[in-house]
């Protein structure tokens, strides 16, 4: 695999877009792997009692998934030096085979000294932004 070089980059460069799908089993798997067993991510009864349309995806499942737009492009996830996001809207995951789809795009917003690039990620579900201020800093080879 050819790794991305800092010299290949410019502000405004768009990374390859991706779509991700969450179904109920993905929430179960993430609960087990992360240790986050909050009931609103797996119990429909409790989720609807607290006013949600159905169980919702873990914010950290979404954050951990959408970063693949950067890591798949980069070829080396270890080059990520910071990653932040604000959880603005929940992603309800229906009890269906189709699940919930998240459309993810990303582009370079800033090039810094020391071979660092700042990337902004946009994550959309049903025409709504589900993560805001989703910003990644990568530190590359020159």
Partner 1 sequence: MAINPEFIGRTYPPTPVYFVGREKIREFATALGDTASCYFEVDAARALGYPDLIAPPTFAVVFTMKAGEQVVLDPELALDYTRVVHGEQKFVHQRPIFAGDQLTSSVSVDSIRSAAGNDMIMVKAQVHSTSGELVSTVYSLLVSRGVEEPT
Nearer to partner 1, 16 or 77 (CB): 77
Structure letter (DSSP) for residue 113: T
Among residues 116, 113, 92, the alpha carbon closest in space to that of 102 is found at: 92
* CB 76 to partner 1: min, Å: 5
Straight-line distance from the first to the last Cα atom of the chain, in angstroms, rounded to the nearest whole number: 17
* CB 94 to partner 1: min, Å: 18
The tokens describing 25, both together, are: 């089993």
Residue whose pair of structure tokens reads 């873990």 in the numeric block: 58
Nearer to partner 1, 5 or 81 (CB): 81
* CB 133 to partner 1: min, Å: 8
Residue whose pair of structure tokens reads 């080396």 in the numeric block: 76
Nearer to partner 1, 23 or 105 (CB): 23
Q: Which residues contact partner 1 by CB under 8 A? A: 20, 26, 29-30, 32-36, 59-61, 63-65, 67-68, 71-72, 76-78, 80-87, 133
* CB 81 to partner 1: min, Å: 5
The tokens describing 72, both together, are: 């798949």
> Rounded to whole angstroms, how far apart are CA atoms 108 and 120?
6
Nearer to partner 1, 10 or 45 (CB): 45
Sign of the Cα pseudo-torsion (41, 37, 122, 99, in order): negative
């Amino acid at each position: 695999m050819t790794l991305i070089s800092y010299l290949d980059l410019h502000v405004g460069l768009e990374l390859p877009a991706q779509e991700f799908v969450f179904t109920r089993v993905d929430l179960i798997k993430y609960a087990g792997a992360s240790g986050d067993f909050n009931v609103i991510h797996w119990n429909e009864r409790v989720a609807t009692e607290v006013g949600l349309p159905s169980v919702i995806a873990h914010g950290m499942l979404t954050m951990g998934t959408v970063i693949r737009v950067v890591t798949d492009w980069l070829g080396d996830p270890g080059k990520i030096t910071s990653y932040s996001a604000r959880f603005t809207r929940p992603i309800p995951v229906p009890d269906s085979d189709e699940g919930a789809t998240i459309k993810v795009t990303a582009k370079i917003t800033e090039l810094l000294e020391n071979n660092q690039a700042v990337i902004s990620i946009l994550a959309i579900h049903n025409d709504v932004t589900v993560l805001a201020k989703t910003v990644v800093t990568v530190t590359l080879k020159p």
